[in-house]
Amino acid sequence: MIVVLQRVKRASVHIEAIEKAAIGTGLLVLLGIESADTLDDINWICRKIANMRIFADQQGVMNNSILETDGDVLIVSQFTLHASTKKGNRPSYIKAARPEIAIPLYEQFIEEMSKLLGKPVPTGEFGADMQVSLVNDGPVTIVLDSKNKV
């Protein structure tokens, strides 16, 4: 499971020019699910996201988590995070999970993130052609890969 975290001032997802979800200050989470992912991957990454200290404290030091700031999280599925670009110029997405595997994991990820934050988490729509807008704050962008925990 690969996640790209972007600390944002605001972010939104539109589908066919209609706003599906939007947040203010918080995190945009781009989520890539691979076939080998399990509930352990979900739990590890969700805990990392919830507790990652990337928000400024009163001294301006990145010392607070999304839990401490009561910020929002917007989750957008993005299978292209598993692109393999080793050969040729056309990326291969063979590691990305097929929808029958990815959708249940995506839904579990949303549920776990909501539980950790203690509030509903807005999302994009799995498999949809989405337009994602954001104002990156910092910029702070972090990549997490559950297969590289150690």
Q: Which residue ranges form the domains of the chain, and what is each CATH number?
A: 2-143 (3.50.80.10)
* Helix residue ranges per DSSP H, 55-126: 66-69, 99-117
Q: Which of 6, 78, 109, 123 is catalytic?
A: 78
Confidence of residue 143 (pLDDT cuts 50, 70, 90): very high
pLDDT tens for 31-79 read 999 999 999 999 999 999 999 999 999 999 999 999 999 999 999 999 9
Q: Which residue has the higher pLDDT, 96 or 13?
A: 13
Q: Which of 6, 55, 79, 123 is catalytic?
A: 79
Confidence of residue 138 (pLDDT cuts 50, 70, 90): very high
Q: Is 108 a catalytic residue?
A: no
Q: Is 38 a catalytic residue?
A: no
Contacts of 63 (CB under 8 A, 6+ apart): 53, 55, 56, 57
E-state strands within the chain: 2-15, 18-23, 26-32, 55-56, 62-64, 72-77, 130-145
Q: Is 80 a catalytic residue?
A: yes
Q: Which of 6, 58, 69, 80 is catalytic?
A: 80
